[in-house]
Structure 1
Amino acid sequence: MIKLLERFGLSLPPLPSTPPTHSPHHATLLQLAFIIGIAVLMHFQIADPAIGLFAVAVYALKVGLLIRGRTAPPRLLMMALTIFSLVLIVFLYGGWNGQRAGISFLVLLVALKFLESRGLRDYFVVCLILYFLAASSFLFNSSILSIGIVVLYTLAITSILFQLSDPTVQHWIKPFKSAAMIVLKALPLAILLFFLFPRIQGDFGFLPSQDERTSELGDSLVAGDLASSAFNNALAFRVEFEGNVPAPADRYWRVKVMDVEENFSWRVRSPSVQDFQRSKEMHSKLDLESGRIKYQVLHEQSSDLFIPYLDYISGAELGRLLLDYSMVQREPSATSFTYFGSSNLNQAIPAPAPQGKPQVESEPSAKLMALLSEWREQAQNDADLVRLAYGYFQQNDFAYSLMPEGLRDDNKIEDFLLNTRVGYCEHYASAFTILMRWLNVPARVVVGYQGGRFNRTGNFLEVRYSDAHAWSEVWINGRWQRVDPTAAISPERIEYGMDALMELWDEDGLNGLGGGTLSEFLNPGTGTRMMRQLRETWSNISYQWNKWIVDYDFKTQKELLSKFGFEGRNSAYVLIMLMFAAVSTLMLFYFWRLLPKRVPRSEAQRLYLRFIKQFDKVDIHKLPSETPREFAEKAITAAPQESAAIAQITDIYENIRYGEASSNSNDQIQELKRLVKQFTLR
């Protein structure tokens, strides 16, 4: 083509020359390999083990090549590994959607790119992918610790980029300091953009296949389910109260109501359209200002539609109230979220009376039938039946256990009530509810949380999955009333919470919940108090971080603007104006710092400038490139009669400016001042 154009007399501009480059240093590549190795090993916490093992194998192959002084394997092998990685992701995750599939793709991408890298440009691309991989960690965790790890990881990648760009071999400390300076300079700009960039409401659905939280309360309750959660210390939600804080025994957080029983197991009845229609009147009576207890809930990420409120609900900001007083939201939240609520200790919103005879699948045995008949003879009303059933658990040798025995499949309730008599909260709630239904008293099981750990440092309540609890509700005197049979067996669980039980748990079970052991828990020694205080302080820091940073959304941003007097419907425009003004001011400050600054002159310099200024009268000027000695020779030529004074002033000035520091420097300055003052050019 070029020769054809030349025949027609057309000439092309010269082709650009290849820029000079250099080979990456072996030490830098080993540092890069170390960073990638950390990413690959951390991936075992996220990905399928097969993905992790394949990434480790690819990484190990590259490290082996580097140690042997080679760069990359044959291209045919690279093609086979790439195709295998794509097939592996699709096979294990069923596609590309979802957090884990996307992160796995990035990890395999960086491992394969690192394996095939030969030149400087390839390693730059590897570092770029590592930046994306570091940012993707926020999809799983945004805690202070994870932020710190990501910052260190980013600094390490930036340091490696500095080393790759430098043809000279240097120690890693200097590039790391340069990377830290870049991050520090960018930090003010990042903070401004974080707080002032307009937050957009809504969910874009970037990751439709969110991973479910296995710790959440399920829609069914089988004996032993909640007992397994007793050892799960993961956080469910935090609560900040406004004014009155309910007593520990009143902290019942309602989530789900289960009224369908099948062989000592319960499940939630899915609400129908008619149920939503019937609950409209109840929902319309919700009022955040009507409750005596007001609070704000900071809930962790959840795939559940049911959200907790303190019993008994009177006002709600989020969710739809159902006939059973549970609250549901329209769609699960992929991130943590906040909402306000208000509650009373007694029901303020009446519910319609239950219709029909209570349904129960389990049948009482002859022994249990005799017990029920005895209660019917003693009771005058349903309230008496409730007291008799509650007293049955109090007066017999029932025990509370975090690891209850299994029950006979043929008749679990009889096995529990008459034989084992050892169970967790769901055993007692299930048994009590079934007894009530056998007695034709409307009853149901409520699942939620009870108690929580109050943080005095931050003045908020922490509710964890270990606080999951089940209790009963019975229809008495025209309303639903809470009855918790667990309180009859283990009042310490209700009064002091799961913290007391877990700290007193040992291999033999709940050993010594009474007497001195419980007293030691409630009145700990100095070391235990210090550990609790440290734990509360760190928990408070984490709470404030989540509240003001992780959950900083459109609503929080609007509240922040209102505190500074910026309110109204045009808040987005105000935010944009503030953002541009703040960013422009910061950029001007940065540019101002780059401008050359005037260096203050010493006293010796000022005296010397006063001396050379006298030669302006004879049109002799000192050039910037001239040394004091060169100017002195030029000045002596123009004024030979002052040669002695010129030479003496020059000698003293050079000795002060360029000579070694001495103890008589002040005397020399005084002598220079005297000579300059006496010097007169004639």
Structure 2
Amino acid sequence: MLILLSRQAILSFYAILVSLIVLLHQALPLWYSAILLLLLLYRWPLQQNDKVNKLKRVNVIAALILLLLLVAIKQSGVFHFMLQILLLSAVSRLVLIRQRHDSHQLLWVLYFLLACCFIFYQSMLVSLVILALLMFTLYCHYRLYASKQYQLQMLQLVKAILITLPVWISLFLLFPRLQPLWRIPTAEAAVTGLADTLDPGSIENLVQSDKLAFRAIFTDPPPPRQQLYWRAKVYEDFDGRSWTVNQRFERRQSANRQPENTNAEQWINYQVIAEVSNQRSLFALGQPVQYASVVRPTAAYLVEARRPVTQRLSYQLSSMLTPVPADTTFEQQLNSRTVNANPETRELASQLAAKSRSTAELIELISTMFRQQPFYYSLNPPRLGANSIDAFLFDSRTGFCSHYASATAVLLREAGVAARVVGGYQGGVWHEEQQYLEVRQREAHAWVEYYDQGSWQRFDPTAVIAPERVLAGLEAVLMADEQNQLQANWRRFSALNYLSQQLLHLDYYWSVWILSFDENNQQNLWQQLKAARNILILLASVLLLTAMIWWLWRFRRKPDNNAAAVRLINKYFSKVLSKKAAGQHFSQFATVLKKHNPEYNSELAHIDQLYQRALFAEDQQALVQLADYLKQHRHSLKKLTWPE
């Protein structure tokens, strides 16, 4: 028999598909999402009609959309292309679907698409949303194919979940962490965070984002804020206006190195949980000397992921908070190159070089110039022309960290000192109760490294112009109107801000306990279990013995061989059933109860009628109705009285 889909089922599929389009927007071009929504609207007027869309018409539309996807496959990537095809097939199926048996394929495609959502999201809140959608899809599946006479037993469902929960946890903790069977090819997605090019204005735009960049957990007490310089990019090529990352940044072969002079006070161990950036660059303090397996070293003592960070990544590092050593023999020569631009800056550098007898004195002269002359720190500096360094140093004298770092590096190079600009993050918000450092995009920063005494020394001109930026944070040095640029409107409400922070803390625990549970943590768990094996064996023996005693006690209990209807009566009339005379059947007993409890005559008569049908006519429907009726009136039945 053909069974048509109800309006409720179709609307449920609509809700799930629209939610999937929103969740998978990262894999869908904007035009494609719009086409899918229009295709869903194409089905909408036909929900209550007997007509259904013609298969040929829908196939032609789907073929045209597929042709557009094939044209754009280079921009989207193979994996995103696969998801786009699955979404197209699900939407097309919903446009054509009319009968219940046609929903089989649609349901299984929805399950697969919901599972794919976890590839794009690792936050706890979104994971709960995806899980809720999965539960809703399972419920729709149940409503479509379960018997109409069978009601979902929530108590039994909860019991089943509680029984399987230990199995889930055991599999998560003890099942071997296997490497992916294949690598998912992805398209070049939009990059967040620091880019490979640094020019006037790039950092200013980035710090206006309130997005989380990464979180850090320290084994020991965290270092002072003025030492929290998280290196991510090193810019060595300068064209007169912009700085770019040099192509020499190739991977090193050696992953772990022990420095010759180890100072325990300068050694620091920490864990970083990096957010999605779609690039390889990661964050490290000082001179990294030990690396986790998921990261590898690059030139200039930076670290990078082995593949673009498309999911939240956790990694361990050990660093020395010392100046970075020389990386290659030609590194000093590479960072001494100058360009034929900014003539006024070149002249100023010559004057400063003539007044100084060492690199340290030259740095002090530059610091004095920034400190004594009217230079200003601003989030909204004026636009600069072609000779941007000249325009900044001699005209506007107003800039952000990238302006001061760029001008200082050019001055040092023109004075004969090798220098480069470093991009990364400075500071962060330390949460004492949760014991982690929160670093957002607004902490993005640029500073200078110059070569002296065989190492790259750090010099932050921003600390000279606005020392509060390093000691207290960016908001401490900005005007009120500039601070408003950094704060979203909703964050001005203290209650919403507090709720957002608490959710962020929960998400942190989710990242540490769930997402960061890798093979190293699993090996540590196995070692701890091995060390406590005697206690575990004793505990398992006690539990097994208890289970056996309970089973034997239940097995020895006299089984209730009465019919189901009799068992129901015994259960709900247990209070007065002891007054029933031997050999008296329930109808006679109910008649006596009516005399003593006239206010319950109708209830007792209805129960007696259902009981007779269920017991003697073997009417299963009457049995179900009897069970429901007794459960519904269980409180009234407890009030039945019997005279003494």
* Distance in 2 separating the partners of 1:91 and 1:179: 51
Q: Counterpart amino acid of 1:426?
A: S
1:288-338 Cα offsets, whole Å, 9 max, x none, are: 978433211112234433321112445443544456222244444443222
Q: 1:482 to 1:337 in 2, by over 3 A?
A: same
Partner of 1:209: 186
Q: Following TM superposition, by how much is the alpha carbon of 1:387 offset from its aligned partner in structure 2, in angstroms? A: 0.7
Match of residue 151, structure 1, among 126, 131, 135: 131
Match of residue 544, structure 1, among 503, 509, 518: 509
Residues 475-494 of structure 1 correspond to what in structure 2 (within 5 A)?
Answer: 475-494=451-470
Residues 293-304 of structure 1 correspond to what in structure 2 (within 5 A)?
Answer: 293-304=268-279
In the alignment, is residue 139 of structure 1 matched against residue 114 of structure 2?
no
Partner of 2:57: 77
* Distance in 2 separating the partners of 1:341 and 1:545: 21
* Distance in 1 separating the partners of 2:333 and 2:433: 50
Q: Does the 8 Å CA contact 2:297/2:303 hold for their aligned counterparts?
A: yes
Match of residue 319, structure 2, among 334, 337, 343: 343
Q: Following TM superposition, by how much is the alpha carbon of 1:55 offset from its aligned partner in structure 2, in angstroms? A: 1.1
In the alignment, is residue 221 of structure 1 matched against residue 198 of structure 2?
yes
Identify the range of structure 1 (137-146 vs 280-289) with the bigger mean alpha-carbon deviation: 280-289
Question: Per the alignment, in what secondary structure is the counterpart of residue 469 of structure 1?
Answer: strand
Q: Does the 8 Å CA contact 2:233/2:422 hold for their aligned counterparts?
A: yes
In the alignment, is residue 306 of structure 1 matched against residue 287 of structure 2?
no
Partner of 2:626: none
Identify the range of structure 1 (302-311 vs 192-201) with the bigger mean alpha-carbon deviation: 192-201
Q: Following TM superposition, by how much is the alpha carbon of 1:99 offset from its aligned partner in structure 2, in angstroms? A: 4.3
Q: Does the 8 Å CA contact 1:282/1:349 hold for their aligned counterparts?
A: no
* Distance in 1 separating the partners of 2:309 and 2:65: 31
Q: 1:384 to 1:207 in 2, by over 3 A?
A: same
Q: Does the 8 Å CA contact 2:249/2:298 hold for their aligned counterparts?
A: no
Partner of 2:622: none
Partner of 2:412: 436
Question: Per the alignment, in what secondary structure is the counterpart of residue 271 of structure 2?
Answer: strand
Residues 180-259 of structure 1 correspond to what in structure 2 (within 5 A)?
Answer: 184=161, 188=165, 191-192=168-169, 194-196=171-173, 198-209=175-186, 212-259=189-236
Q: Following TM superposition, by how much is the alpha carbon of 1:566 offset from its aligned partner in structure 2, in angstroms? A: 6.7
Q: 1:70 to 1:439 in 2, by over 3 A?
A: same
Q: Following TM superposition, by how much is the alpha carbon of 1:603 offset from its aligned partner in structure 2, in angstroms? A: 6.0
Unaligned runs of 5+ residues in structure 1 are: 1-19, 514-520, 522-526, 569-573, 613-621, 631-648, 671-682
Q: TM-score, normalised to structure 1's length?
A: 0.73
* Distance in 2 separating the partners of 1:240 and 1:40: 35
* Distance in 2 separating the partners of 1:227 and 1:39: 34
How many residue pairs get matched? 578
Q: Does the 8 Å CA contact 2:122/2:311 hold for their aligned counterparts?
A: no
Match of residue 40, structure 2, among 31, 53, 59: 59
Q: Counterpart amino acid of 2:395?
A: N
Percent sequence identity over matched residues?
23
Q: 1:100 to 1:662 in 2, by over 3 A?
A: closer
Q: Following TM superposition, by how much is the alpha carbon of 1:259 offset from its aligned partner in structure 2, in angstroms? A: 1.9
Question: Per the alignment, in what secondary structure is the counterpart of residue 301 of structure 2?
Answer: coil
1:523-547 Cα offsets, whole Å, 9 max, x none, are: xxxx987666544322211101112
Q: Following TM superposition, by how much is the alpha carbon of 1:449 offset from its aligned partner in structure 2, in angstroms? A: 1.0
Partner of 1:461: 437
Q: Does the 8 Å CA contact 2:596/2:642 hold for their aligned counterparts?
A: no
* Distance in 1 separating the partners of 2:283 and 2:398: 28
Q: TM-score, normalised to structure 2's length?
A: 0.77
Question: Per the alignment, in what secondary structure is the counterpart of residue 270 of structure 2?
Answer: strand
* Distance in 1 separating the partners of 2:402 and 2:160: 52
* Distance in 1 separating the partners of 2:308 and 2:28: 23
In the alignment, is residue 558 of structure 1 matched against residue 523 of structure 2?
yes
Q: Following TM superposition, by how much is the alpha carbon of 1:285 offset from its aligned partner in structure 2, in angstroms? A: 5.5
Q: 1:258 to 1:188 in 2, by over 3 A?
A: same
Match of residue 372, structure 1, among 340, 349, 357: 349
Q: Does the 8 Å CA contact 1:446/1:472 hold for their aligned counterparts?
A: yes
Q: Counterpart amino acid of 2:454?
A: G
Q: 1:63 to 1:327 in 2, by over 3 A?
A: same
Question: Per the alignment, in what secondary structure is the counterpart of residue 304 of structure 1?
Answer: coil
Q: 1:351 to 1:536 in 2, by over 3 A?
A: same
Partner of 1:47: 28
* Distance in 2 separating the partners of 1:36 and 1:450: 42
Partner of 2:100: 120
Q: Following TM superposition, by how much is the alpha carbon of 1:59 offset from its aligned partner in structure 2, in angstroms? A: 0.8
Partner of 1:9: none
* Distance in 2 separating the partners of 1:461 and 1:535: 16
Q: Counterpart amino acid of 1:195?
A: F
Q: 1:357 to 1:297 in 2, by over 3 A?
A: closer
Q: Following TM superposition, by how much is the alpha carbon of 1:628 offset from its aligned partner in structure 2, in angstroms? A: 4.7
Q: Does the 8 Å CA contact 1:106/1:133 hold for their aligned counterparts?
A: yes
Q: Counterpart amino acid of 1:54?
A: I
Q: 1:281 to 1:487 in 2, by over 3 A?
A: same
Q: Following TM superposition, by how much is the alpha carbon of 1:207 offset from its aligned partner in structure 2, in angstroms? A: 1.7
* Distance in 2 separating the partners of 1:242 and 1:159: 45
Q: Does the 8 Å CA contact 1:457/1:537 hold for their aligned counterparts?
A: no
1:5-53 Cα offsets, whole Å, 9 max, x none, are: xxxxxxxxxxxxxxx4432333433343344344445555641122112
Match of residue 33, structure 1, among 2, 11, 14: 14
Q: 1:134 to 1:361 in 2, by over 3 A?
A: same
Partner of 2:627: none
Q: Does the 8 Å CA contact 2:287/2:320 hold for their aligned counterparts?
A: yes
* Distance in 1 separating the partners of 2:104 and 2:153: 17
* Distance in 1 separating the partners of 2:54 and 2:159: 38
* Distance in 1 separating the partners of 2:202 and 2:240: 15
* Distance in 2 separating the partners of 1:108 and 1:286: 61
Q: 1:349 to 1:539 in 2, by over 3 A?
A: same
Q: 1:386 to 1:282 in 2, by over 3 A?
A: farther
* Distance in 2 separating the partners of 1:282 and 1:558: 23
Q: 1:435 to 1:97 in 2, by over 3 A?
A: closer
In the alignment, is residue 24 of structure 1 matched against residue 1 of structure 2?
no
* Distance in 2 separating the partners of 1:221 and 1:554: 38
* Distance in 2 separating the partners of 1:30 and 1:565: 53
Q: Does the 8 Å CA contact 1:305/1:328 hold for their aligned counterparts?
A: yes
Partner of 1:107: 87
Q: Does the 8 Å CA contact 2:191/2:279 hold for their aligned counterparts?
A: no
Q: Following TM superposition, by how much is the alpha carbon of 1:276 offset from its aligned partner in structure 2, in angstroms? A: 4.1
Q: Counterpart amino acid of 1:550?
A: L
Question: Per the alignment, in what secondary structure is the counterpart of residue 530 of structure 2?
Answer: coil
Unaligned runs of 5+ residues in structure 2 are: 605-635
1:360-400 Cα offsets, whole Å, 9 max, x none, are: 33346664454334323422222111111122122222222
Q: Counterpart amino acid of 1:86?
A: L
Match of residue 92, structure 1, among 59, 66, 72: 72
Point out the structure with max Rg over C-alpha: 1
1:75-102 Cα offsets, whole Å, 9 max, x none, are: 2212212322321221222498544323
In the alignment, is residue 627 of structure 1 matched against residue 608 of structure 2?
no
Identify the range of structure 1 (348-357 vs 535-544) with the bigger mean alpha-carbon deviation: 348-357
* Distance in 2 separating the partners of 1:656 and 1:242: 75
Q: Does the 8 Å CA contact 1:358/1:442 hold for their aligned counterparts?
A: yes
Q: Counterpart amino acid of 1:557?
A: Q
Match of residue 365, structure 2, among 367, 384, 388: 388
CA RMSD after TM alignment: 4.3
Question: Per the alignment, in what secondary structure is the counterpart of residue 112 of structure 1?
Answer: helix
Partner of 1:495: 471
* Distance in 2 separating the partners of 1:32 and 1:351: 58
